[in-house]
Structure formats: structure tokens, C-alpha cells
Amino acid sequence: MDNKKWVSVWGNSITCDEFSPSNYAKDITLRYFITTAVNGEKIKLRFSNTYGYEDVVLTRVTVGRADKDGNVSEIKDVTFGKNKSAKIAKGTYLYSDEIDFVTEFNGKIAVSIYLENYTDMHSAISTAGPLTNNRFCKGDFSGAKAFEPQLSEGTARTYFLDTVEVLASNDCKAAVVFGDSISAQSWPEWLALRLLGENRSDISVVRRAVSGSRVLREYSNLSLLKYAHAGIARFETDISSVKGADRVFVLHGVNDIIHPQEGVLFRPMSDLPTAEDLIAGYRRYIDIAHKYGLKIYIATITPFCNWRTYDKTRNDIRESVNKWIMSCNEADGYIDFAGALCNPEKPAVLLDVYNSKDNLHPSLEGGKALAESVPEDYLK
């Protein structure tokens, strides 16, 4: 244990999945393929049922080594108090035991979860990017080399598993990416690939992002619970749960501006913040990050001209907030994501190649441009 510490190498923010009659599953295996950024000698998994309405029983959990074709070998049981199955009480987290399992720089592992009985599947997150590769299969395939093709499908959702930690050398650290749907999509994974391409075996990227989330407010109605707690309510929990973290990148705030809409019951115009309101939220982030000894880098809010609720008033708020982000000396630095994605001749508009065509979210190329725009000094 000398000169070793636990470092998070992968993670997501589990939230509440959309309500539907299909929120229960039985006799299925979930398998998540995860790229590891640092060398480790032990592994530990954290599971979340924070948004569940019932206790969840994990019948069997395994971890194995995955190859480029998705085949899994060296499969080991993950235990909980030396038991192979475990119950996660609703509204709580659960850690596995420490497992002797070697992880490698730029290696791939597979975490499999078998759910034998009817299971409430509300605790989940949907993500996307070049490294997201999740599957589910009918039956118990937790110990199988591969899933049966006719019984399995891919899924963008990750259920229950929210963090993977490894016992690594003391010089290793984690960078947290905190935010909303733009960060639940591809740019954090492009950042991870950038670091892997630079042979950085000392740093991992851990995502803590929830689509639709806002800095200042949250929703309590059924259809929008998936947008999670307000950022100022979940920021401390999300960053403090990342072992070995020493910095956090924040891209958050666009939903505070674009969500309020006249005549919409759960998103009234009274929710629209002033620039000063949002800045006060960022200052909360800065204070919390510094309390935990983390450097914090805030990104400018990206353009959303031609989004369905766009108007000049909203864009003026964005521009005022961005001016503060780029001039304040309270954070440890800023990243001009707006400048990285905008059309130079029309700064309120996404450059076409970086536009996913909804005029808000970046395309895959746009996500890559964001990752490449992070200053090298912020990654040392």
C-alpha cells in the first residue's frame, strides 16, 4: 500500500431514468465496456440506487478483461462483504469489496451485472461518445466470454454502476467533468482519448454530467425528474465522490437559460435567471471545489441560436455570463468552449460542422473540438 492510493478511473452521475411501464427488468445481464487510463493492482466498484423507488438486488457482478472485439476473459466475481450478491437499498450507494484485479493504461475491462428478479431500473444515466459501449442480454451471461447475438442489444444507458476505482501509484489523479447533456455526450470521452494519445498514464477522466440539469433549479414533476438535482445541490456530492480528483471542468448553465418558457407549467418564465444569478451559482461551485482542494476551470456557455426558445434576451444573459467567466480571477482558469464551437462571423451560432443539427448540442466533431480546446496547462 506504500505509495499507492485509490483513484477513480471511470464514472457517471446516476440519475432517475424516464418513467415508463418498462422500468422493470428481470433475468437480464448488463455489460459495460470501460477503458482504463491508469495502471492499477486492485479494483473497487461503486453502485448507486439513489433514484430508485425500491431496493435493488445485484444477483451476480463480475469484472473481466475485454479485447477489441468485445470478448471477455479472466473473469472474476465481484463480492460484497465476501458475498456474490448484494442489495442496494433505495436512495443509497453501495461499494464492492476490494478485488485483486490488474488494470492497464489504455486497457479495456468489462463489468457485468446479472439481475435475476424483477428489478426497478430507475437509477440510470444515458451517455454517448466514442468510448460508450454498453450491452444487455436476456439470461445470466455474467460469466460468459461473449453475449449471444440473438439475445442481446446495445444500450446508451448505464444502470446502477457509477464509479470504478483502482489502486494506483501516488502520482495518478482524476479530472472531473461536471455539467449537463453536452458533457453527458462526447467531449469528456474525446478528452480521455486525447490524454491516452499523449501517453498520459497518470490521469483519468470521470464524468459527472446529467442531461437537462440546471445550475440553480431542479424539477419535481415525474416527466422531468431525469434532469436531477440542481447543480448547486449535487456539485459537492459529485466531485467529492471521485477518488484522487485534483481538478474539475465545469460546463453548465445553458439549461437555466433555455428551459423557461411562457405557458409551460413546469418551466415557467419566472425560472429565467439573471446573469448575476448564474454567476452566484458558479461562485458556489468555486468555493466548494476549493474547499476540497480541487482546481476548477469553468467553460463558457456555448451558442444556441436557432434553438426553439432562443431570443436576444437569453443570448444577452449568455454573453454577460461568458464575459464574467473569461474575466474573473476566482476560478483557476476558463476554457472558451463558446469560441471553440461558434461561427466566427456569427458568434451566437454554432459552426455548421460542429452542430448536431439541433442548434444546441455539438456533433461528434464538435465534441472533439471541445476536448482539443482544453489548454495543455490545465492537464498537467
Question: In this predicted model, what pLDDT tens digit does every residue of 269-318 receive, in sequence order?
Answer: 999 999 999 999 999 999 999 999 999 999 999 999 999 999 999 999 99
327-to-46, 71, 110, 300, 331 alpha-carbon distances in Å: 38, 50, 43, 11, 10
Give the mean model confidence (pLDDT) for residues 17-23: 76
pLDDT of residue 1: 56
pLDDT of residue 318: 98
pLDDT at residue 373 is higher than 70: yes
pLDDT at residue 362 is higher than 70: yes
Per residue in 283-293, pLDDT (tens digit) is: 999 999 999 99
pLDDT at residue 49 is higher than 90: yes
319-to-275, 315, 347, 357 alpha-carbon distances in Å: 9, 6, 10, 22
Q: For residues 12 and 179, give the distance between their C-alpha atoms in angstroms, rounded to a whole number.
A: 11
Q: For residues 129 and 368, give the distance between their C-alpha atoms in angstroms, rounded to a whole number.
A: 10
Give the mean model confidence (pLDDT) for residues 328-335: 97
Give the mean model confidence (pLDDT) for residues 238-264: 97
pLDDT of residue 249: 98
* Interstrand relation of 173-179 and 203-209 (parallel, antiparallel or unpaired): parallel
pLDDT of residue 227: 87
pLDDT of residue 146: 97
Per residue in 195-249, pLDDT (tens digit) is: 999 999 999 999 999 999 999 999 887 777 788 889 999 999 999 999 999 999 9
∠ CA(112), CA(106), CA(335), 5° rounding?
Answer: 105
CB atoms within 10 A of CB 74: 11
pLDDT of residue 133: 95
Give the mean model confidence (pLDDT) for residues 183-204: 98
- CATH no. for 172-379: 3.40.50.1110
Helix/strand number for the chain, H first, E second: 8, 25
Give the mean model confidence (pLDDT) for residues 335-342: 98
Tell me which amino acid residue 183 is. S
pLDDT of residue 240: 97
pLDDT above 90 covers what percent of the chain? 92
Task: With beta carbons less than 8 A apart as the criterion, state whether 34 and 165 touch.
Answer: no
Q: For residues 163 and 238, give the distance between their C-alpha atoms in angstroms, rounded to a whole number.
A: 11
SS3 content of the chain, % helix, strand, coil (to 5): 25, 35, 40
pLDDT at residue 18 is higher than 80: no
Task: With beta carbons less than 8 A apart as the criterion, state whether 248 and 295 touch.
Answer: yes
Residues in the chain: 380
| Interacting residues of 20 by C-beta distance below 8 A, sequence separation 6+ | none
> pTM above 0.85?
yes
Mean pLDDT of the chain: 96
Task: With beta carbons less than 8 A apart as the criterion, state whether 257 and 317 touch.
Answer: yes
242's grid cell: 471521485
pLDDT at residue 360 is higher than 60: yes
User: End-to-end alpha-carbon separation of the chain, Å?
Assistant: 25
Give the mean model confidence (pLDDT) for residues 100-119: 97
| Interacting residues of 174 by C-beta distance below 8 A, sequence separation 6+ | 7, 8, 9, 203, 204, 205, 206, 242, 243, 244, 245, 246
Give the mean model confidence (pLDDT) for residues 351-356: 98
pLDDT above 70 covers what percent of the chain? 99
Per residue in 64-93, pLDDT (tens digit) is: 999 999 999 999 999 999 999 999 999 999
Per residue in 142-178, pLDDT (tens digit) is: 999 999 999 999 999 999 999 999 999 999 999 999 9
Q: Quickly list DSSP for 55-105.
A: -EEE-EEEEEEE-TTS-EEEEEEE-BTTBS-EEE-TT-EEEPPPEEEEE-T
What are the boundaries of each domain within the chain?
4-165, 172-379
pLDDT of residue 228: 80
